[in-house]
Chain A
Amino acid sequence: MNRIATSPVTERPATRRLLIGLALGFLLFFLVLPLISVFAEALRHGVAAYWASVTDPDARAAIRLTLLVAAISVPLNTMFGVAASWAIAKFDFRGKSVLIALIDLPFSVSPVVSGLIFVLLFGAQGLLGPWLMAHDARVIFAVPGIVLATVFITFPFVARELIPLMQEQGKDDEEAAVSLGASGWQTFWHVTLPNIRWGLLYGVLMCNARAMGEFGAVSVVSGHIRGETNTMPLHVEILYNEYDFVGAFAVASLLAGLAMVTLIAKSVLEWRFELHQPGARS
């Protein structure tokens, strides 16, 4: 026994290999294989069929709608997230913990329930439904409902990312800026925003991924009208239920591609984020 002890928690090589093997096998089975099969199914009848499915008018409408919903909800939630975390991190006020708990609400409620809330509020039998009908405005089974549901589902992402970051940074930098004569806006723009930029980008990225991928809540309020109120995830489901596997997997491959791009961007951000963490604080 002349093993060189490196660390008291070091496992024997066999144990280590087993653990790594298990983790890799798990990833392979649950992540890599499904991902490959998505692309394999999508391309089963060749590139031409794939292309036809992706450029089909209904598919294009779904892509456009998904982009539109993300384009509205991501900026809204970015503003909301920055404002909420600014308020929570830099000020003391009554009900702060209630606000933090409320921000987490969409994470703790099933997305289907979130969708139902909006149906109950804006649907034909809902609280505001009759008034909306009288004014000829449609929310449920229309684009506004989808946007509302998506905003609700995705609003924690930016705030959750920024609150701990801003709390940790404290308000010394902001106080220094105002003591030097900067206005509130200048302080935000020149001091706060640069301090949180990597965390903010990370939050926006995750918010966007969820906004484009959300199924449950959107499914409840959408009404599944082809070419009108179908987002990409809903379109995938419809095609799949109609046994159009190539079509379903082709559109799904776009979402999978988005996921991969998000993953890579996330890794890059995490790497940059590390470099700018409080370890390098001045």
Chain B
Amino acid sequence: MIRIQNISKRFGAFAALHGIDLEVQRGEFIALLGPSGSGKTTLLRIIAGLEFPDSGQVFFDGADVSARAVGDRGVGFVFQHYALFRHMNVAENIAFGLSVKARAARPAKAVIKARAEELLQLVQLDGLGRRYPRQLSGGQRQRVALARALAIEPRLLLLDEPFGALDAKVRKDLRRWLRNLHRQMGLTSIFVTHDQEEALELADRVVVMDAGRIEQVGTSEQVYMQPATPFVAGFVGESTRLPGGHLVRPHDFEIADGGEPLLVDNVFRKGGAWRVEGSLRGAPGVLEIDIDAADAAPALGQTILIRPRRSHQFTERAMP
């Protein structure tokens, strides 16, 4: 449905994107995941038409929209800081996209009003239509921003760090709610995040980006279990590099006779496991391993024998 072909973009001397190719199917929920400066937001803004690439094309349903302005692409864009119009109440904010339509295409006032009510219900803010944005909590503002973007019935919903400014509890609830909304309405959505947990939990497919390039595109299972590059292995989930270039996840270690001796520096509970930090004899750096919390926690200064159960190896060429 959406095809991005060989997109490159520079900001002055800084190359934000190098030759990006990506396809998104109808109904998919896609996460653009990467550290800051990886180009994920630039890519999202180029798809929206808020930014224009130096080279390359964007296709919607086969049509080249590269030169089209954002207003003509039929996309809903949700901004990181919501960008609600502060002098308009919630209902007016939501109705904005309909009320600025050309006279011939504009629905009647009553229709617009009914539609705003409907959307308020959809985002579970019924009765708050007359409030102003400053009177709402962060989570409520985010839902208003979403309702406003959905009012124009976009064929593609784009969200820039949609949960970035919210506290942990609200973020979790909103995440689940957005996931359901996406399914319910049959939307096609792309969101940007630097939070790997968020990407893995929400997205059908995760696009891992670094330094203006796509490192891997895959389901959360694929990017976690079969990272294509050392960057992905390091960025998605935790991992420790062993001598010899093996990357091992903390939960992929086991305590075993005949394993390597690990000197325990620190032990703390992490969810259902003990997180042990320590160092291998003769090797620099800190190693993180998880052991079952049903077992006794190792004492500080103790040496335990460990062995990786599973590891990812990358050829030396691919090592950063």
Residue of A nearest to B132 (CB): A282
On chain A, the number of residues with a Cβ less than 8 Å from chain B's Cβ atoms is 20
A11: interface (CB < 8 Å): no
Cα distance A181–B97 in the bound complex, in angstroms: 6
Q: Do B87 and A194 touch across chains, with their CB atoms under 8 A apart?
A: yes
Cα distance A141–B136 in the bound complex, in angstroms: 59
Instruction: Take A181-B152, A186-B100 as given contacts and tell me if A172 and B77 are in contact as well, using a CB distance cutoff of 8 Å.
Output: no
Q: Do B100 and A180 touch across chains, with their CB atoms under 8 A apart?
A: yes
Q: Is the interface of A mostly helix, strand, loop or mixed?
A: helix
> B residues within 8 A CB of A276?
86
> A residues within 8 A CB of B77?
175-176, 179
Contact of A179 among B75, B87, B101, B134 (CB under 8 A): B75
Q: Do B100 and A282 touch across chains, with their CB atoms under 8 A apart?
A: no
> A residues within 8 A CB of B48?
179
Of residues 144 through 201 on chain B, the ones whose CB sits less than 8 Å from some CB of chain A are 148-149, 151-152
Cα distance A103–B132 in the bound complex, in angstroms: 36
> B residues within 8 A CB of A191?
85
Q: Do B86 and A181 touch across chains, with their CB atoms under 8 A apart?
A: no
B70: interface (CB < 8 Å): yes
Contact bitstring B82-99, A, C-beta under 8 A = 1, else 0: 111111000000001100
> B residues within 8 A CB of A181?
71, 97, 100-101, 152
Cα distance A282–B165 in the bound complex, in angstroms: 12
Contact bitstring B66-84, A, C-beta under 8 A = 1, else 0: 0001110001110101111
> A residues within 8 A CB of B151?
180
Shortest B112–chain A CB gap in Å is: 13
Shortest A174–chain B CB gap in Å is: 9
Contact of B83 among A173, A190, A194, A280 (CB under 8 A): A173
Of residues 162 through 195 on chain A, the ones whose CB sits less than 8 Å from some CB of chain B are 172-173, 175-183, 186, 190-191, 194-195
Q: Do A175 and B50 touch across chains, with their CB atoms under 8 A apart?
A: yes
A281: interface (CB < 8 Å): yes
Contact of B81 among A172, A177, A195 (CB under 8 A): A172
Q: Do A180 and B79 touch across chains, with their CB atoms under 8 A apart?
A: no
> B residues within 8 A CB of A195?
86-87
> A residues within 8 A CB of B70?
175, 178-179
Cα distance A183–B72 in the bound complex, in angstroms: 11
Q: Do A182 and B79 touch across chains, with their CB atoms under 8 A apart?
A: no
Of residues 269 through 291 on chain B, the ones whose CB sits less than 8 Å from some CB of chain A are none
Cα distance A176–B69 in the bound complex, in angstroms: 13
Q: Do A282 and B71 touch across chains, with their CB atoms under 8 A apart?
A: no
Residue of B nearest to A278 (CB): B86
Contact of B86 among A178, A183, A280 (CB under 8 A): A280
Contact of B71 among A172, A173, A180, A194 (CB under 8 A): A180
Of residues 246 through 282 on chain A, the ones whose CB sits less than 8 Å from some CB of chain B are 276, 280-282
Of residues 95 through 110 on chain A, the ones whose CB sits less than 8 Å from some CB of chain B are none
Of residues 204 through 231 on chain B, the ones whose CB sits less than 8 Å from some CB of chain A are none
Instruction: Take A178-B70, A179-B75 as given contacts and tell me if A190 and B100 are in contact as well, using a CB distance cutoff of 8 Å.
Output: yes
Contact of A172 among B83, B87, B133, B152 (CB under 8 A): B83
> A residues within 8 A CB of B133?
282
B249: interface (CB < 8 Å): no
> B residues within 8 A CB of A281?
86, 134
B141: interface (CB < 8 Å): yes
Q: Do A180 and B86 touch across chains, with their CB atoms under 8 A apart?
A: no
Contact bitstring A25-43, B, C-beta under 8 A = 1, else 0: 0000000000000000000
Q: Do A176 and B83 touch across chains, with their CB atoms under 8 A apart?
A: yes
Of residues 62 through 96 on chain A, the ones whose CB sits less than 8 Å from some CB of chain B are none
Candidate in B48, B69, B87 with the most chain A CB atoms within 10 angstroms: B87
Cα distance A183–B82 in the bound complex, in angstroms: 20
Q: List 15 A-B contacts (CB under 8 A).
A: A172-B79, A175-B77, A175-B79, A177-B96, A177-B100, A178-B70, A178-B71, A180-B71, A181-B71, A181-B152, A183-B71, A191-B85, A276-B86, A282-B84, A282-B85
Q: Which of B's residues lie within 8 Å of A, judged by CB?
A: 48-50, 69-71, 75-77, 79, 81-87, 96-97, 100-101, 132-134, 136, 141, 148-149, 151-152
Nearest 3 Cβ contacts at the A-B interface = A282-B133, A180-B97, A172-B83
Query: Knowing that A172-B81, A195-B87 are A-B contacts, what are 9 other residue pairs whose CB atoms are under 8 Å apart, sorted by A's residue number?
Result: A179-B71, A179-B76, A180-B152, A181-B71, A181-B97, A182-B96, A183-B71, A190-B85, A281-B86
